[in-house]
Chain A
Amino acid sequence: MSENTATASPTGRAAGTGIAPRRASALLGSAAGRNTGLVLALVLLCLAGVVTAGDRFADVSNVLTILRLASVIGVVSVGMTFVVTGGGIDLSVGAIVALSSVWATTLATQAMARDTHWLVMVFAALAVGAGCGLVNGTLVAYGRVVAFIATLAMLAAARGLAEIISNRKTQIVDVPGFTAFWDTSPLGVPMLVLVFAVVALAGWVVLNRTTFGRRTYAVGSNPEAARLAGIDVRRHTVLLYTLLGICCGIAAVMIIARTTTGSATHGGLYELDAIAAVVIGGTLLSGGRGTIAGTVFGVLIFTTLSNVFTLNNLSISAQAVAKGAIIVLAVLLQQRLARRSGG
Chain B
Amino acid sequence: MARTAVRRLVTVLAAGALLTGCTSNTPEAPPAQETAGGGGANAEPGEKVVIGFSAPAADHGWMAAISAAAKAEADKYSDVELKAVEGTNDVNLQISQVETLINEKVDAIVLLPFDGAALTPVALKAMEAGITVINIDREFDSPFASRVTVRGDNYGMGISAGTYVCEELKGKADAVVAEIAGIDSLPLTQDRSQGFADALGQCGLKVNNRVAAEFTVESGERAAANLLQAAPRIDAIWNHDDDQGIGVNAAIKNSGRSEFFMVGGAGSANVMREIKAGDGLLKATVVYPSTQGADGIALARLLVQGKGLSDIVEVEVPRSIQLSAPVVTQDNVDKYLEAAFES
* Interface mask (A23-37 → B, CB under 8 Å = 1, otherwise 0): 000000000000000
Which residue of chain A is the closest to B247 with respect to CB atoms? A259
Assembled-state Cα–Cα distance A175/B177 (Å): 34
Residues facing B in A229-275 (CB within 8 A) are: 255, 258-261, 263-268
Question: Which of A263, A268, A307 lies at the interface centre, i.e. has the most chain B CB atoms within 10 A of its CB?
Answer: A263
Which residue of chain B is the closest to A268 with respect to CB atoms? B216
Q: Choose from A62, A259, A264, A266 the contact partner of B59 (Cβ within 8 Å).
A: A264
Tell yes or no: A168 within 8 A of B by CB: yes
Assembled-state Cα–Cα distance A317/B186 (Å): 13
Tell yes or no: A224 within 8 A of B by CB: no
* Interface mask (B64-95 → A, CB under 8 Å = 1, otherwise 0): 10000000000000000000000000000000
- B185: chain A residues at CB < 8 Å are 317
Q: Choose from A53, A169, A267 the contact partner of B218 (Cβ within 8 Å).
A: A267
Tell yes or no: B118 within 8 A of A by CB: no
- Give the size category of B's interface with A: 35 or more
Cβ of B230 and Cβ of A56 under 8 Å apart? yes
Which residue of chain A is the closest to B226 with respect to CB atoms? A310
Cβ of A316 and Cβ of B225 under 8 Å apart? no
Tell yes or no: A195 within 8 A of B by CB: no
Cβ of A169 and Cβ of B342 under 8 Å apart? yes
Cβ of B226 and Cβ of A307 under 8 Å apart? yes
Cβ of A310 and Cβ of B217 under 8 Å apart? no
- A264: chain B residues at CB < 8 Å are 59
Tell yes or no: B321 within 8 A of A by CB: no
Given A68-B225, A260-B246, A261-B246: A311 in contact with B219 (beta carbons within 8 A): no
Cβ of A59 and Cβ of B229 under 8 Å apart? yes
Assembled-state Cα–Cα distance A266/B219 (Å): 9
Given A169-B343, A263-B216, A310-B230; 10 other pairs, CB 8 A cutoff: A169-B64, A172-B270, A259-B217, A259-B218, A261-B247, A265-B218, A306-B222, A311-B229, A313-B210, A316-B211
Q: Choose from B58, B223, B246 the contact partner of A172 (Cβ within 8 Å).
A: B246
Which residue of chain A is the closest to B87 with respect to CB atoms? A168
Given A263-B217, A268-B214: A168 in contact with B226 (beta carbons within 8 A): no
Residues facing A in B197-225 (CB within 8 A) are: 208-212, 214, 216-223, 225
A interface residue numbers (CB < 8 A to B): 53, 56, 59, 61-62, 65, 68-69, 163, 167-170, 172, 255, 258-261, 263-268, 306-307, 310-313, 315-317
Tell yes or no: B184 within 8 A of A by CB: yes
Which residue of chain B is the closest to A257 with respect to CB atoms? B250
Q: Choose from A170, A255, A261, A310 the contact partner of B229 (Cβ within 8 Å).
A: A310
By secondary structure, the B interface counts as helix
Inter-chain CB contacts under 8 Å: number: 96
Cβ of B246 and Cβ of A258 under 8 Å apart? no
Query: Across chains A and B, which 8 residue pairs bring their CB atoms closest together, nearest first?
Result: A310-B226, A265-B216, A62-B229, A311-B230, A259-B217, A316-B212, A259-B247, A259-B221
Cβ of B246 and Cβ of A56 under 8 Å apart? no
Q: Choose from A170, A266, A316 the contact partner of B243 (Cβ within 8 Å).
A: A170
Closest Cβ–Cβ distance, residue A50 to chain B (whole Å): 14
Q: Choose from B64, B210, B217, B226 the contact partner of A265 (Cβ within 8 Å).
A: B217
Cβ of A265 and Cβ of B60 under 8 Å apart? yes
Residues facing A in B224-244 (CB within 8 A) are: 225-230, 232, 243
Tell yes or no: B61 within 8 A of A by CB: yes
Residues facing A in B243-295 (CB within 8 A) are: 243, 246-247, 250, 254-255, 270
- B210: chain A residues at CB < 8 Å are 313
Closest Cβ–Cβ distance, residue A124 to chain B (whole Å): 19
Cβ of A266 and Cβ of B225 under 8 Å apart? no
Cβ of A65 and Cβ of B225 under 8 Å apart? yes
Assembled-state Cα–Cα distance A264/B218 (Å): 11
- B212: chain A residues at CB < 8 Å are 315-316
Which residue of chain A is the closest to B207 with respect to CB atoms? A313
* Interface mask (B301-331 → A, CB under 8 Å = 1, otherwise 0): 0000000000000000000000000000000
Cβ of B59 and Cβ of A265 under 8 Å apart? yes
Closest Cβ–Cβ distance, residue B114 to chain A (whole Å): 16
Closest Cβ–Cβ distance, residue A16 to chain B (whole Å): 40
Closest Cβ–Cβ distance, residue A156 to chain B (whole Å): 13
Closest Cβ–Cβ distance, residue B107 to chain A (whole Å): 30
Cβ of B221 and Cβ of A258 under 8 Å apart? yes
- A62: chain B residues at CB < 8 Å are 229
- B211: chain A residues at CB < 8 Å are 310, 316
Cβ of B243 and Cβ of A69 under 8 Å apart? no
Cβ of B250 and Cβ of A306 under 8 Å apart? no
- B58: chain A residues at CB < 8 Å are 168
Closest Cβ–Cβ distance, residue B180 to chain A (whole Å): 11
Given A62-B229, A266-B216: A170 in contact with B250 (beta carbons within 8 A): no
Assembled-state Cα–Cα distance A258/B219 (Å): 11
Question: Which of B211, B219, B223 lies at the interface centre, i.e. has the most chain A CB atoms within 10 A of its CB?
Answer: B211
- B250: chain A residues at CB < 8 Å are 258-261
- B342: chain A residues at CB < 8 Å are 169
Assembled-state Cα–Cα distance A72/B131 (Å): 51
Which residue of chain B is the closest to A101 with respect to CB atoms? B218
Cβ of A311 and Cβ of B226 under 8 Å apart? yes
Q: Choose from B214, B227, B246, B254 the contact partner of A170 (Cβ within 8 Å).
A: B246
Assembled-state Cα–Cα distance A105/B218 (Å): 15
Closest Cβ–Cβ distance, residue A236 to chain B (whole Å): 33
Closest Cβ–Cβ distance, residue B139 to chain A (whole Å): 25
- A317: chain B residues at CB < 8 Å are 184-185
Assembled-state Cα–Cα distance A312/B243 (Å): 26
